[in-house]
Amino acid sequence: MPNNPKPHAPNASGLAIASRVVTEFIAAIGVAVIIGLAIDRWLDTTPWATVIFVCLGFGAAILNVARLSNSLQTPENHDA
């Protein structure tokens, strides 16, 4: 049996990964804006809650993309 190296992501193309990254950013920031606007309307604190939640959403998006990139990396070969 030949020793074939495993690809980084067996069923994921570069376009699929890029699409997922963009979706992670849009979803995290979109949810943060909606929550921020709702809190601003409820507490009449425009635009402070929106600004805070956009920053939190951006941080969440970065964290999600970092987790995605870590999951795509293959583990080191510990058989040797």
Dig out the tokens for 3 from the structure: 């020793």
Dig out the tokens for 64 from the structure: 């999600």
Task: Write out 2-13 in H/E/C secondary structure.
Answer: CCCCCCCCCCCC
Residue 68, φ and ψ in degrees, nearest 5: -65, -45
Task: Give 7-34 pLDDT, tens digit per residue.
Answer: 555 566 889 989 999 999 999 999 999 9
- The whole-number pLDDT of residue 47 equals 93
**For the chain, domain boundaries:** 18-72
| pTM as predicted | 0.72
